Amino acid sequence: MDTAYVIDTLFTLFSITLIILMVPGFAMLEAGLVRTKNVSSVLTVNVMIYAVASMAFILVGFHLAFGDFQSTTMSQWAFFMFQMAFVGKAINIMSGGVGERARLLPLTLFTVIMGAFIYPTAVNISWGSDWIKDTVFDLSFVDLAGSTVIHSTGGWALLAAILIIGPRKGRYVGDQIRVIPASNIPLVVLGAMLLWIGWFGFNGGSVGSIATKEAADSVALTIFNTNAAGLAGAIAAGVLIYLRYKLFDITMILNGALGGLVAITAGPHLYTLYDSLAVGLIGGVLVVLAVPLFDRFRIDDPVGALSVHLVNGIWGTLAVGLFASNPAKGITFLNQLKGVGEIAVFVFTVSFVIIYAINKLVAFRASDDDQVQGLDVSECGLEAYPEFKRAI
């Protein structure tokens, strides 16, 4: 008994460090994808989110999500911190997609509300216990590590934000879509790989225990499948892009990998290896198809967050109903679809209202002049690379 408690605590602490490694992961990925004049701003947003969302969740959100729940199978502090490590991710997804034009103060206000209320409510009705879940409604769908609860939640909040804040100045001019190249590819690769590795803790840790033979198999299968879906997503995106352009586009390959990772997240413990490859492969294809689609609707998302997290969050949750359907256990396509839909309605509506309200109080969108100059100067007072001469 004590041995299981000890091992699960150690396993959860290990998972936590991998998840928190996703903080520099997201930060490097986004810093590499935006223009140099907005790099400090984007980095500050990432650090702010980790600090503010975690604090909001510690002080308010955790209780809202889990009520008086006490972990008895591992140290309560490990359980608490594991849950805390998740909250920033949903907001990171949202903040990345409004990069290069969203101001920091309103983003901070939204982070407080999302970390204290919106995300914890989504957790409660999906994974939690206690008052909302028992008295209001219980989403009985499978979402092991948050294809919906984390990734779609972040994606729906992002969609609401983009509709209110609008595209970056100069992105859509007349009929033209201006391509804005990533400024630092090594950071993109570093960030994506840190996210990939962090995912092992995210999904593996979500199994909840490693302390029996069956649990150990489940955790190892989960991590194996998670990685396999990432591999398949990368290869699918790479092949598609190569067939079309005869070029190897590393940002698209990495977004394909991340798409596969998002897609597998709802059910990696339920799949065979070949299921996982299929889920990840489709995830990579969806990213390649979705990126130009959002642009066609003038939904400007500099890091591809909607394609990676929202589209694949939905796909991954539905995939459980396709590949791991088990009506005897209540796992059906319809239940999965219902889960996707209910979180969509809840998160999009609440986020839209709150972002709209904050925007009335403090403008979310940086002025055109500040965007042209770069948010680093207007928001942070310091440039990311002050000594390097700019070519463009």
Query: Residues with Cβ < 8 Å from 164, sequence gap 6 or more?
Result: 352, 355, 356, 359, 364
Query: Residues with Cβ < 8 Å from 109, sequence gap 6 or more?
Result: 358, 361, 362
The DSSP 8-state label assigned to residue 326 in this structure reads: B
- Per DSSP, helices labelled H in 297-332 are 305, 312-323
Name the nearest CA neighbour of 365 among 160, 92, 166. Answer: 166
Name the nearest CA neighbour of 63 among 109, 10, 114, 131. Answer: 131
CB of 196 to a second copy, least distance (A): 8
3-state secondary structure of 75: coil
CB of 343 to a second copy, least distance (A): 27
| Residue nearer to a second copy on the CB measure, 190 or 290 | 190
In the numeric block, which tokens belong to residue 374? Answer: 């770069």
| Residue nearer to a second copy on the CB measure, 21 or 337 | 21
CB of 41 to a second copy, least distance (A): 8
| Residue nearer to a second copy on the CB measure, 5 or 323 | 5
| Residue nearer to a second copy on the CB measure, 227 or 335 | 227
Selected from 33, 93, 116, 187, the binder of a second copy by CB under 8 A is: 187
- For a second copy, how many residues bind (rule: CB under 8 A)? 105
Contact by Cβ (8 Å): 37, 383: yes
3-state secondary structure of 200: helix
CB of 187 to a second copy, least distance (A): 6
Segment lying near a second copy (by CB under 8 A), choices 74-82, 168-176, 302-310, 344-352:
74-82
| Residue nearer to a second copy on the CB measure, 88 or 313 | 88
CB of 141 to a second copy, least distance (A): 25
3-state secondary structure of 167: coil
329 touching a second copy, by CB under 8 A: no
Name the nearest CA neighbour of 257 among 237, 277, 275. Answer: 237
Selected from 111, 148, 184, 371, the binder of a second copy by CB under 8 A is: 184
Give, as ranges, the residues between 194 and 253 that touch a second copy (CB under 8 A).
194, 196-197, 200-201, 204, 210-213, 215-217, 219-221, 223-224, 227-228, 231-232, 234-235, 238, 245, 247-251, 253
Binding mask 113-132 for a second copy (x = CB under 8 A): --------------------
What is the Cα gyration radius of the chain?
Answer: 20
Give, as ranges, the residues between 358 and 387 that touch a second copy (CB under 8 A).
379-387
Binding mask 4-43 for a second copy (x = CB under 8 A): -xxx-xxxxxx-xxx-xx-xx--xx--xx--xx--xxx-x
d(CA 110, CA 112): 5
102 touching a second copy, by CB under 8 A: no
Selected from 38, 46, 95, 336, the binder of a second copy by CB under 8 A is: 46
Selected from 144, 190, 355, 358, the binder of a second copy by CB under 8 A is: 190
Q: Give just the sign of the alpha carbon dihedral 190, 193, 199, 200.
A: negative
Q: Under the phi-then-psi rule, with left for phi > 0, alpha for psi from -120 to 50, and beta for the rest, what region is 140?
A: beta
389 touching a second copy, by CB under 8 A: yes
Give, as ranges, the residues between 250 and 289 that touch a second copy (CB under 8 A).
250-251, 253-254, 257, 273
φ and ψ of 281, to 5 deg? -60, -45
